[in-house]
Amino acid sequence: MRKQTIFIPTLVLALAAPVASAQSTGLTHTVEGYFMGASMTGTAGAGPVTGDVNLTSSKIFENLQFGAMANYRGEAPKWAVAADVVYMGLGATGTGDGGRATAEVDMDEWMVEATGSYRISPVFEAVGGLRYTSLKTAIELRKPQETTSTSATADWVDPLVGARLALPLSEAFAFTFRGMLGGFGVGCDFTWDVDARLKWRVSKSVGLSVGYRYLDQDYEKDGGFKWDVVSQGPLAAASLTF
């Protein structure tokens, strides 16, 4: 397996919808692609094997095969719906035993989130929804006279509750903050995340933003699979509103 260091963030997804219809119903659509310089720390394990996770953002980029991050928000005067999709594929090769053994590791991670919110005030929304997480890891160890392969998979759904704050700073700039709690033993034992951003409305349709995201997941299931990991890092995004 040849390692690739290609990262292809989804920038702006074009959705066809009549602007006049959106204006008549008061519904606006925003699609966004974003890039996140994530790091991972914590503990992960499968079966009898458990180890520490300590991946800096530079190490993740070094071993990244493919990644995509995008979200959507549909907004009406009193309510909104949103979806967020993250995919990351990592691949790494290492050698040991004086060069006589080679290990190849692949990890695929999906996170898909769907939420709905109700606007309590012009700047405050109550939010609820679900997050689906899927993890798949494969390890192949090759020695001169032997090849050993092992894999582990896990997927789960977390209920989420939280709030979103959107504070206008000027006609062109705004600050947004979203905090969510979830899991509650349904999927994760507990999970929480925050997303804080400074947004710049470049034009009526185009927006740019920078910020920081923090996600903590504590998941464990029968059979020894464990994922107690924090993913966090700065992000930058471009969006299209219509």
pLDDT digit string, tens, across residues 13-53: 333 334 334 444 579 999 999 999 888 888 877 766 666 77
Task: Please list the residues that pair with 35 across neighbouring strands.
Answer: 236
Q: Which range (52-56, 71-75, 171-175) has the least confidence?
A: 52-56
Rounded to whole angstroms, the Cα distance separating 42 from 231 reads: 9
Q: Tell me: the pLDDT tens digits for 157-172?
A: 999 999 999 999 999 9
Alpha carbon dihedral 211, 71, 241, 193, in 10-degree steps, equals -40
Rounded to whole angstroms, the Cα distance separating 56 from 45 reads: 19
Give domain 19-241's CATH superfamily: OMPT-like (2.40.128.90)
State residue 62 phi and psi, 5-degree precision.
Answer: -60, -35
Q: How confident is the model at residue 55 (pLDDT cuts 50, 70, 90)?
A: confident
How large is the average pLDDT for residues 207-232? 92
Rounded to whole angstroms, the Cα distance separating 88 from 27 reads: 32
**CA angle centred on 71, ends 67 and 72, rounded to 5°:** 155
Q: Is the dihedral angle over the CA atoms 30, 127, 217, 136 positive or is it negative? A: negative
Rounded to whole angstroms, the Cα distance separating 218 from 192 reads: 9
Entry pTM: 0.80
Q: Tell me: the pLDDT tens digits for 118-140?
A: 999 999 999 999 999 999 877 66
- Other C-beta atoms lying within 10 Å of the C-beta of residue 228: 19
